[in-house]
Amino acid sequence: MTIRKLMPYGTPASRPSNLDTLHSDVEIARHYVSSGNAKPCTVTKGGIAQSLGINGEMAHRDSQPDQQMTLVDIDLLQINYRTDNSTDSSLHLVVAGTLAVQHRTPVSTCLLLSNSGIFRGRDVLPRAHPNDGFMDVLEIDPKISFRQLAIAWRRSTTGSHLPHPQIRVSRSSEYQWSGRPSKMIADGTTYQGVVWLHCKVIADAMSIYF
């Protein structure tokens, strides 16, 4: 069940003996694709870990069988996409943390779809939560000046944003984008020449211990 207002997030649980340790958002997505929610896991790094408040100390604490942990559910993002080299059939992948669309360089990022709110280690979408049933969407007008974009990027280090008519933030359970061939960066992995994508939230996709 996704989070609800005034309800606690997560439940106390004993550490499973067969707990897999994952080290990034992309490993979370691969774990889901390979085993769904069948095999218990924890995570030490990445956007999901950062959004859950998992730090180095927690990742390396004593791992005795009777260790008490917290068990939480997280959502994931199902991505269908096409490239300028693909046929009519779309390609598929799962994203745990954040997907970005860039035309050339990081400065030319025009779209973020995020489950964690974290992009390149920064809390760029501070209202995001990995189990609220929504993705947070950041749309940037390509006509925005470099100066204004740089100011907004600097302010993202504190989890605050510059109100600007060319930067739009919203939330949705589904989102579709199309445009000229661009780089799609999904959990840090780059896909070239993407011209169309559709993103849908997979609510309560898997559980994580920490």
Domain boundaries, the chain: 11-75, 76-203
Reported pTM:
0.88
Check whether domain 76-203 has CATH 3.20.20.150, yes or no: no
Residues 6+ away with beta carbon under 8 Å from 97: 25, 28, 46, 47, 48, 114, 115, 116, 118, 187
DSSP character string of 152-176? HHHHGGGT-----TTEEEEEESEEE
Q: Which tokens hold the place of 80?
A: 């269908």
pLDDT by residue for the chain (210 residues), tens only, comes to 677 665 788 999 999 999 999 999 999 999 999 998 889 999 999 999 999 999 755 555 556 667 899 999 999 999 999 999 877 688 999 999 999 999 866 566 789 999 999 998 989 898 999 999 999 999 987 777 677 666 666 665 555 555 566 788 999 999 999 999 999 999 999 999 999 999 999 999 999 999
Closest among 179, 177, 169, 186 to 77, alpha carbons compared:
186
Question: Using CA atoms, how far apart are residues 180 and 193, in angstroms rounded to an integer?
Answer: 8
Q: d(Cα 57, Cα 106) in Å, to the nearest integer?
A: 31
Nearest partner of 74 among 26, 6, 5, 129, judged by Cα: 129
pLDDT of residue 109: 78
